[in-house]
Amino acid sequence: MAQLPGHNGLSADKLKILVIQQKMIGDVLATSIICNNLKQRYPDARVDYLIYPFTQPVILNNPNIDHVVLFDDRYRKSKMALLGFALRLRRQQYDIVIDAYGKTESNLIVLFSGAKVKLGFYKKYTRFLYTQTVREIPAPLTNAGTALENRMNLLNLLAPGATADIRPKIWLTEAEIENGKKILERHQVTSGNIFMIGVLGSGDNKTYPFPYMAKLLDFIVARTGAVLLFNYMPSQSEEAKTIYSLCLPQTQRQIRLDVVPGSIREFLSITYHCRALIGNEGGAVNMAKAIGVPTFTVFSTWIKKEAWSSFEDGTTNVSVHLKDFKPELYGAKSPKEMKKQAKELYLEYQPELIIPVLGDYLDRF
């Protein structure tokens, strides 16, 4: 049997591996590259992926994941339920646990896993839980961004220097792609000149101000005459309508509020037929990149752009951040410090700063 180098003679033939990422959609998609590369390196291994239930759509049909382990919300609310969950996982007898989350819940799972190899990010107060750790790099070495590079560094503890595919991917079926096309046709959106708009972020501190976003939408329509589709959570319906109301009448005529995806997979199937996704940074941007749709991203004023501005090339994928235009507002402050000032900083993030960059981006279509 082939041995796993440097890991106590562990056989590489029939490995059972658990990858942990209890976080948002973008994080789950990013960490899926670990699963993808594990399967390439160890095709006979069983690769399980532990995630929150609501993030499952982005890994549906991924051939590199054998089993999805769902972390129910009750495990967060009850320590006894969490302990019971961890002990049930222990019965699976995983050989390797890779913790890309690194918080209390995953720490407990690692502690009770019984795995011979336990990999995680270095933290002074939890390093003893793992057989190996890696320090997160603060600045990207490639255009993949640190969010992806750090995950690959975690994987490379198993096989340093091995060739890897660092791009996240979402597997859409032909039926789903056709369904997205039919949805647009039913709403008489037959033009190929369609943009999906990430009109709202996941919260106030990740959302470009409504009047500013309306001005960007006015500019897009004036420049391209495109049809605009809005992407937002169901609970954000009224906010989306507010932004619509702030747009010029000619822009409103190009916005199709009646095209509302009923699920994440439906959003993906519709976005597949759009020329680009433009809007607030978040899971939608990461999903668009994972199905090969170009993106123009407006980063929140406190999110670290170097982490999530993945695969930017100045043409297909482009992003802007307030720090690009007004670095003097930031100094050496950390994202955590800047988060407290998010709304004040947004007032400095006028559309006039973004429009020249957005105009160049749109002209490339």
Asked whether residue 60 is assigned to any structural domain, the reply reads: yes
pLDDT of residue 357: 98
Residue ending a domain, choose from 155, 187, 221: 155
Asked whether residue 6 is assigned to any structural domain, the reply reads: no
Asked whether residue 11 is assigned to any structural domain, the reply reads: no
pLDDT of residue 3: 53
Kindly provide the b/e burial profile for residues 249-277, where b requires at least 16 CB atoms within 10 angstroms of the residue's own CB.
eebbebbbeebbbeebbbbbbbbbbbbbb
Residues 199 and 291 in one domain: yes
What pTM value is reported for the model?
Answer: 0.92
Asked whether residue 127 is assigned to any structural domain, the reply reads: yes
Per-residue pLDDT at 11 exceeds 50: yes
Identify which of 298, 335, 290 has the alpha carbon closest to the alpha carbon of residue 31: 290
Residue 1 pLDDT class (50, 70, 90 cuts) = very low
Bridge partners for 279 per DSSP: 198, 297
Residues 227 and 128 in one domain: no
* Number of folded domains that form the chain: 2
Residues 136 and 41 in one domain: yes
Residue ending a domain, choose from 155, 183, 213: 155
Cβ-contact 278, 196 below 8 angstroms:
yes
Identify which of 70, 264, 270, 62 has the alpha carbon closest to the alpha carbon of residue 169: 62
**Residue 59 to residue 111: CA distance in whole angstroms:** 26
Residue ending a domain, choose from 101, 126, 155: 155
The stretch 101-115 carries a mean pLDDT of 95
Please report, for residues 77, 253, 328, the alpha-carbon distance to residue 258 in angstroms, rounded to integers and kept in the order given. 37, 12, 42
Identify which of 246, 226, 248, 244 has the alpha carbon closest to the alpha carbon of residue 236: 244
Residues 201 and 146 in one domain: no
pLDDT of residue 151: 96
Poorest-pLDDT segment among 164-168, 269-273, 316-320? 164-168
Asked whether residue 162 is assigned to any structural domain, the reply reads: no
Per-residue pLDDT at 6 exceeds 70: no
Kindly provide the b/e burial profile for residues 91-121, where b requires at least 16 CB atoms within 10 angstroms of the residue's own CB.
eeebbbbbbbbbeebbbbbbbebebebbbbb
* Full residue range of the structural domain in which residue 340 is found: 174-363
Asked whether residue 266 is assigned to any structural domain, the reply reads: yes
Asked whether residue 86 is assigned to any structural domain, the reply reads: yes
Residues 77 and 184 in one domain: no
Give the CATH number of the domain where residue 288 resides: 3.40.50.2000
Residues 242 and 279 in one domain: yes
pLDDT of residue 256: 96
Residues 242 and 345 in one domain: yes
Question: Which one has a higher pLDDT value, 333 or 270?
Answer: 270
The stretch 165-179 carries a mean pLDDT of 97
Residues 313 and 202 in one domain: yes
Asked whether residue 185 is assigned to any structural domain, the reply reads: yes
Helix (H), strand (E) counts: the chain: 16, 11
Residues 149 and 210 in one domain: no
Residues 190 and 319 in one domain: yes
Alpha helices for the chain (secondary structure H)? 25-41, 74-77, 79-90, 104-112, 146-155, 174-186, 210-224, 237-246, 249-252, 264-271, 283-290, 305-308, 322-325, 335-339, 342-346, 351-363
Cβ-contact 114, 133 below 8 angstroms:
no
Residues 246 and 137 in one domain: no
Backbone angles phi, psi at 357, to 5 degrees: -70, -40
Please spell the DSSP secondary structure of 310-340, one letter per residue.
TT--SSSEEEE-HHHH-GGGTTT--HHHHHT
pLDDT digit string, tens, across residues 26-53: 999 999 999 999 999 999 999 999 999 9
**Residue 106 to residue 284: CA distance in whole angstroms:** 25
Please report, for residues 118, 177, 284, the alpha-carbon distance to residue 180 in angstroms, rounded to integers and kept in the order given. 41, 5, 16
Residues 193 and 111 in one domain: no
